[in-house]
């Protein structure tokens, strides 16, 4: 029964039942669950670190390697989830209901509680069933706050003394489901810019037609921006670029109007309005060109507009290179990863840029090779959606895939390469 931690599915379901959705994620319960399971695996150690407040723990799991002088492997998973609208789900999003055909419904089933448990299941299997000891030390980090930017989670971790002492050589972080028979792998993220544009203008009676109202100025910008969006999207629709290779611009809020007790005054044209946009740039984008475009076309001062860009992630690493991990023979980790997937019987799609953004950017910024990977194939992409689910068979297969990956990465002796980091 699921009351017991008796098998991988019940352990996964019990993890999913812990509500770690924002804005009130129960991180402590999640850390307890993972710590208790890790304690059942011989030689595995756990520690909980705090970089900000007590309610934002980071769980670090260590599986010691026999040669601690070699750079280590880090597997990452975030503890938090995005919120839910429970009434729009078929099942309670925190009940981890299993359908007759094995679909496990829960917030976090794909993003990304699956990988968090699969890492541990794979290590347990390698240790208990095969008595395998890694050459390189394997770490797993369970981090808070990824969904709200990661700044108090992995962001703080990578700057810490504790992190530097780990001497990490290669990182695996979350990816996305694949609807085909091939696993997807990601070598870069897009960088998010939160853009707010504001328009000022002449206020006036709702009945009056005149030039230069704040609303008119804002609407002109929105038209220009939507045209840009259409051009980018047309490239995707024409098959010239993947979704994640273009710059996306999506409106996420409009704030305007003169409030009245029953809503808004309809006969007032406001003097100030604003709108917010989620903008995502691939690592190949030119940020200066983008800033100029915003300055000159999207929020020109001559149209009485101002703007604010909050960059939620860098486009370049500390050496000034685009934030990308090499997926060719220059990166030995890539070859090992690729071979491990093949050895597991899996097929790999062409490496992609992730359309969204993960904590991986903090590692790539330090120049540490990092791949995004979640072993889910023949699975609809349901992250942040209603009725997020993962099939039990897909979950089990993922554990097997990680067994191959973790074994290959952690036994890589590096003899054939010079580690340049």
Which residues are annotated binding-site positions for Zn(2+)?
Answer: 78, 111, 147, 174, 384
**Could you tell which of Zn ion, ligand MET, none binds residue 26, using a CB distance below 5 to 8 A set by kind?**
none
Which residue in the list 112, 121, 145, 146 is annotated as catalytic? 146
Q: Which of 19, 26, 35, 356 binds ligand MET (CB under 6 A)?
A: 356
Q: For 242-351, where are the alpha helices, taking DSSP H only?
A: 287-293, 332-343
For strands 389-391 and 103-105, give the pairing.
Answer: antiparallel
Nearer residue to ligand MET within complex by CB, 102 or 149: 149
192 binds ligand MET (CB under 6 A): yes
Distance of CA 142 to the CA centre of its chain: 13
Rounded Cα distance between 32 and 339, Å, is 35
149-154: long-range pairs with CB below 8 Å, 24+: 149/312, 150/78, 150/358, 150/359, 150/362, 152/51, 152/52, 152/56, 153/56, 153/58, 153/78, 153/359, 154/58, 154/76, 154/78, 154/359, 154/362, 154/363
Residue 407: which of 99, 81, 126 has the closest Cα? 126
Shortest Cβ 15–Zn ion spacing (Å): 15
Identify what 357 binds: ligand MET, Zn ion, none; CB under 5 to 8 Å per kind: ligand MET
Q: Which residues are annotated as a binding site?
A: 78, 111, 147, 174, 384
Where is 189: in which H helix or E strand? Answer: strand 186-189
In the sheet with 57-63, reading across from the earlier edge strand, the strands are 45-50, 57-63, 138-143, 72-78, 168-173, 370-372, 186-189, 352-354
Considering the complex, state which of residue 44 and residue 58 has its C-beta at the smaller distance from ligand MET: 58
Let me know if 297 is a catalytic residue: no
Least distance in angstroms from the C-beta of 211 to ligand MET: 38
Based on the residue annotation, tell me whether 359 is a catalytic residue of this protein. no
Single out the residue of 33, 107, 156, 312 in contact with ligand MET (rule: CB under 6 A).
Answer: 312
Is residue 217 within 8 Å of residue 199, measured between CB atoms?
yes
> Residue 183, exposed/middle/buried by CB under 10 A (0-12, 13-18, 19+)?
buried
Which positions from 222 through 281 interact with ligand MET, judged by CB under 6 A? none
Shortest Cβ 189–ligand MET spacing (Å): 8
E strands along 304-405, which residues?
Answer: 305-311, 352-354, 370-372, 389-391
Which of 111, 274 has the CB closer to Zn ion? Answer: 111
Q: At closest approach, how far in Å is the CB of 254 from ligand MET?
A: 20
Stretch that binds Zn ion, among 30-38, 172-180, 238-246, 327-335 (CB under 5 A): 172-180
Residue with smaller CB distance to ligand MET, 121 or 146? 146
Question: Interface with Zn ion includes 352 (CB under 5 A)?
Answer: no
147 binds ligand MET (CB under 6 A): yes
Regarding 388 and contact with Zn ion (CB under 5 A), the answer is: no
Closest CB to ligand MET among 73 and 143? 143
One of 38, 105, 109, 112 touching Zn ion (CB under 5 A): 112
- Cβ proximity of 50 and 58 under 8 Å: yes
The whole-angstrom distance between residue 188's C-alpha and the CA centroid of its chain comes to 11
Q: Does 357 bind ligand MET (CB under 6 A)?
A: yes
Residues in touch with ligand MET (CB under 6 A): 146-147, 149-150, 192, 312, 356-358
- Residues serving a catalytic function are 80, 146
């Amino acid at each position: 029964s699921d009351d017991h931690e008796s098998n991988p599915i019940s352990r996964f379901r019990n993890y999913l039942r812990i509500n770690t959705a924002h804005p009130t994620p129960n991180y402590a319960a999640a850390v307890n669950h993972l710590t208790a399971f890790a304690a059942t695996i011989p030689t595995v150690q756990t520690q909980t670190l705090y970089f900000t407040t007590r309610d934002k723990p980071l769980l670090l799991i260590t599986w010691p390697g026999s040669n601690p002088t070699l750079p280590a492997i880090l597997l990452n998973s975030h503890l938090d989830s995005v919120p839910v609208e429970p009434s729009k789900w078929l099942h309670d999003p925190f009940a981890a209901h299993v359908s007759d055909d094995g679909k496990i419904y829960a917030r976090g089933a794909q993003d990304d509680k699956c990988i968090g448990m699969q890492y541990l299941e794979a290590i347990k299997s390698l240790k208990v069933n095969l008595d395998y000891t890694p050459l390189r030390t394997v770490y797993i980090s369970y981090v808070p706050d990824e969904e709200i930017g990661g700044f108090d989670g992995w962001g703080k971790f990578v700057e810490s003394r504790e992190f530097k002492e780990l001497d990490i050589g290669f990182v695996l972080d979350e990816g996305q489901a694949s609807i085909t028979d091939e696993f997807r792998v990601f070598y870069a993220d897009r960088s998010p810019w939160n853009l707010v544009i504001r328009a000022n203008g002449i206020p006036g009676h709702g009945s009056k037609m005149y030039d230069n109202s704040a609303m008119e100025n804002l609407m002109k910008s929105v038209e220009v921006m939507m045209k840009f969006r259409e051009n980018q999207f047309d490239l995707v629709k024409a098959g010239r670029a993947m979704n994640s290779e273009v710059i996306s611009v999506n409106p996420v809020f409009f704030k305007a109007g003169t409030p009245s007790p029953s809503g808004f005054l309809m006969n007032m044209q406001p003097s100030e309005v604003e709108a917010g946009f989620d903008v995502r740039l691939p690592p190949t984008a030119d940020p200066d060109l983008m800033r100029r475009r915003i300055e000159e076309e999207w929020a020109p001062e001559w149209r009485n507009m101002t703007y604010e860009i909050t960059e939620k992630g860098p486009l370049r690493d500390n050496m000034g290179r685009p934030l990308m991990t090499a997926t060719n023979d220059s990166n030995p980790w890539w070859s090992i990863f690729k071979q491990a997937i093949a050895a597991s019987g899996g097929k790999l799609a062409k490496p992609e840029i992730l359309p969204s953004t993960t904590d991986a950017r903090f590692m790539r910024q330090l120049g540490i090779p990092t791949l995004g990977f979640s072993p889910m194939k023949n699975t609809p992409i349901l992250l942040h959606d209603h009725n997020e689910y993962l099939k039990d068979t897909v979950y089990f297969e993922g554990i097997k895939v990680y067994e191959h990956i973790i074994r290959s990465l952690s036994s890589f002796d590096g003899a054939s390469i010079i580690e340049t980091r």
